Amino acid sequence: MSAHLPLSRRAVLAAAGIGAVGVAAAACSTGKSGSTDDAKPDAPTVNVVYTPALDSGDAPNPTAAVSVKAENGLLNPDVKLLNPSGKVVAGTMSEDRKTFTVSEPLGYGSQYTWHGSAVGYDRVSTQVTGSFTTLSPQSQMNVVVNIGDGQEVGIAAPIILKFDDTVEDKEAVEKALTVTTEPPIEGAWAWLGEDNGSRAHWRTKEYYAPGTKVHMSAKLYGVDHGGGAYGAADVTSDFVIGRSQVVKAAAPSHQIVVVRDGGVLMTLPCSYGGGDLDRNVTRSGIHVVTEKYEDFFMSNPAAGYFNIRERFAVRISNNGEFIHANPETIGVQGSSNVTNGCINLSLENAQRYFESAIYGDPVEVTGTRIPLSEADGDIFDWIYDWDSWTGMSAIKGDPSQVTAPATPSGAPTSNAPAPAPPG
């Protein structure tokens, strides 16, 4: 509706007087036609300013600020922005009715149209109208996160963002990533090797404290990833750190010690990888539990076996290292290391450990002649000291290059059914 601006009594009387004079003048007119010229309407004094400008010629980013503002006047309540389907885009009017601001992201490559009106302090109205079209990226890049909302994970779990293509502008993308924790803990992003797309991992400097609440936000929609690609959507994850459980796996001891919240939960005799061939050596370093299977049918052509059923298998590396039951090595469990790289337990002990393990638990292997490295799979985050890890951030410049894929070539494969959810 139009704004009603109050007039003083003197102004009303003056207007009435002007009107009377006008009537008298018209009565005395002697023009040829007997009538006066048509009065031209006053030009509106209100000025409507659009953001983005309608005549700029540039296609705005769909996450850019979008608003309309009235100068020397007010916006009417009918102001709105419509999407290509004619649906009203969410927005808010300022209390002083000077500005209307869109409050939701727009779509890529879409035309949006303003509708409504504004009125000046002179009570002359003008239309709020015009269109603009948002930018159309050459491609849109998707990303998935490894930890789902509400999941409880172990104290060594990294956050992993897996992109479906190569991120060329890693710095711009990393600046759109945030992690907040309660209580606060130091952590940093690093870029690991390409694996049919880029990978960004967030790791803490030290293990999480049990019970830590974690919120990850990847505000990637509208972010230029480089090479004409833009983020397809924002991604978030809210999860919690569970109890502290660490597997102390000293290969010379021929056992594993499962430590829960600082106390020994179980000590289990086992057999580690034999040291005769490099491929059979269990790697030393901090491994991370990633998944577990009650039944796992493993094939390892290099070791000469195919579709061997393994029970209660807990994966600790993508190079084929598991903690699992193996009845064939029971006779040497606790006294000798003879496996093809896995940590073998009895059926009963394997089940006990299986039931205690969750995604993100650290398994600290020591005492073997080959260290865990980038060549060993998807989560090798803990092989780096903190300075090296932060050096793989893109914000300080080009990240240190890691070229190893998530799954090493020649790693054992499985025809097992889909794994049970981590936990």
Q: Which residues are catalytic?
A: 324, 342
Distance (Å, rounded) from C-alpha 275 to C-alpha 392? 33
Give CA torsion, residues 346, 352, 358, 362, to 10 deg.
Answer: -60
Task: Retrieve residue 5's tokens.
Answer: 């601006």
Distance (Å, rounded) from C-alpha 83 to C-alpha 110? 8
66, with CB counted inside 10 A (0-12, 13-18, 19+), is buried
Distance (Å, rounded) from C-alpha 344 to C-alpha 359? 19
Distance (Å, rounded) from C-alpha 167 to C-alpha 225? 6
The number of beta carbons lying within 10 Å of the beta carbon of residue 327 is 12
What are the start-end ranges of the H helices in 242-385? Answer: 347-356
Strand partners, 153: 241
233 three-state secondary structure: coil
**E strand or H helix that includes residue 239:** strand 235-241
Smallest Cα–Cα separation from 89: which of 118, 68, 59?
Answer: 68
Distance (Å, rounded) from C-alpha 232 to C-alpha 221? 5
DSSP 13: H
341, with CB counted inside 10 A (0-12, 13-18, 19+), is buried
Token match 């139009």: residue?
Answer: 2
Distance (Å, rounded) from C-alpha 73 to C-alpha 67? 16
Task: Retrieve residue 383's tokens.
Answer: 């092989």
The number of beta carbons lying within 10 Å of the beta carbon of residue 144 is 11
231, with CB counted inside 10 A (0-12, 13-18, 19+), is buried
302 three-state secondary structure: helix
Task: Retrieve residue 30's tokens.
Answer: 């002697």
